[in-house]
Amino acid sequence: MAEKGKVCVTGAGGYVASWLVKLLLSKGYVVHGTIRNLGDKKYAHLKTLDKASENLKLFKADLLDYNSLRAAIEGCIGVFHVACPVPYEHMLSVALGTSMDLEEEVEKMEVEIIEPAVKGTQNVLQACLETTVKRVVFVSSDGAVLMNPNWPRDHVMDEACWSDKEYCSETKNWYCLAKTAAESKALEYAKETKLEVVTVCPSLVIGPMLQSTTNASSLVLIKVFTDGLDKLENIFRYLVDVRDVADALLLTYENPKADGRYICSSHTIRPRDLVEKLKKMYPHYNYPKKFSEVENEQKLSSEKLQKLGWSYRPLEQTLIDSVQSYQDAGVINNATLR
């Protein structure tokens, strides 16, 4: 079992990573956090976390710069690899089922998304193997699970289901391709080297924000509130609270029984039902006007993670806390939320 001590969190200033850092500090861990620019104000929230002044050290690091990662990981017994480039517009389009121009150049996607995800993961794992790291928790995505057209329609999608890389490429789902390639690389590396690696695959992450900038997954929910979209696909969406993701990451790090990959998803809901729920809570809003029905009855299962001891918040609580966070950050007009 990975003991308490010094751990590293890559991409520490991001949405999920910030909550993870907060949780780790509250549990008595000393945290090394990697960020891109030590002087960037968007990371200022990290320094305000409880116990940050004495137990959080930030390192400037780049996923493609092995030496910078090695410096941050040196002396740590655990690593949470959270950092990954996120293509905002593409992620919003996939999550909302809206149309956009997906004719990006493959070369551009290779450089901006796929290479940092895959090569960056390889660099992190190599640094872990060559130092004192005992366990690595890699944050993947349900995007590494869901994109599988050959999975039997009457079967629940569990950890045995992997997204088809060729299908991801054909449909230009670059984020899903990057996550699938990086996660599979991580587990292959673990098998080859005997390094302890556990992967966690969160679904669409919502909940309150700690950082000052709005992240892609939060924007999905904000757009449902404010954009007055003409139409949304009424297809199953899988949601999880960011705080529950942080709990899952710590659980899979600390629990000696944790092994392989874990799907991390709390709620399965169709957009029409989500909007109806939101309207009851916040009626004066610019919600989507119509929904197009799509056949999609497959479910995503977090049974393996729950058997490990994971639990999650009610969806209503997540929505309330999300809205409060958006209000506090000024990204939603308070006057419309009466």
Residue-wise DSSP of 179-246: HHHHHHHHHHHHHHH--EEEEEEE-EEES---SSSPPHHHHHHHHHHHS--SEEEE--EEEEEHHHHH
Q: Is the pLDDT of residue 229 over 90?
A: no
Q: Is the pLDDT of residue 181 over 70?
A: yes
* CATH architecture, domain 6-337: 3-Layer(aba) Sandwich (3.40)
192-223: pLDDT as tens digits? 999 999 999 999 999 999 998 888 888 888 88
Distances (CA, A) of 276 to 248, 272, 273, 279, 295: 29, 6, 5, 5, 20
Q: Is the pLDDT of residue 336 over 60?
A: no
Domain boundaries, the chain: 6-337
Instruction: Select from 233, 206, 219 the least CA-distant residue to 293.
Output: 233
Query: Which pLDDT score, from 0 to 100, does residue 35 have?
Result: 96
124-158: pLDDT as tens digits? 999 999 999 999 999 999 999 999 999 998 899 99
Instruction: Select from 212, 213, 215 the least CA-distant residue to 204.
Output: 215
pLDDT-wise least confident of 178-192, 277-291, 298-312: 277-291
- Residues with a catalytic annotation lie at 179
Q: Is the pLDDT of residue 109 over 90?
A: no
CB 205 within 8 A of CB 143: no
CB 332 within 8 A of CB 284: no
Q: Is the pLDDT of residue 286 over 60?
A: yes
Query: Which pLDDT score, from 0 to 100, does residue 98 have?
Result: 58
CB 245 within 8 A of CB 202: yes
Average confidence score pLDDT of the chain: 90
CB 208 within 8 A of CB 326: no
CA distance 10 to 115: 16
Average pLDDT over residues 241-267: 98
Q: Between 24 and 326, whose confidence is greater? A: 24
Query: Which pLDDT score, from 0 to 100, does residue 295 have?
Result: 75
Structure tokens at 302: 């977090």
Structure tokens at 243: 């705080």
Query: Which pLDDT score, from 0 to 100, does residue 284 have?
Result: 81
* Segment of 97-101, 113-117, 239-243 carrying the highest mean pLDDT: 239-243
Instruction: Select from 202, 162, 207, 209 the least CA-distant residue to 314.
Output: 207
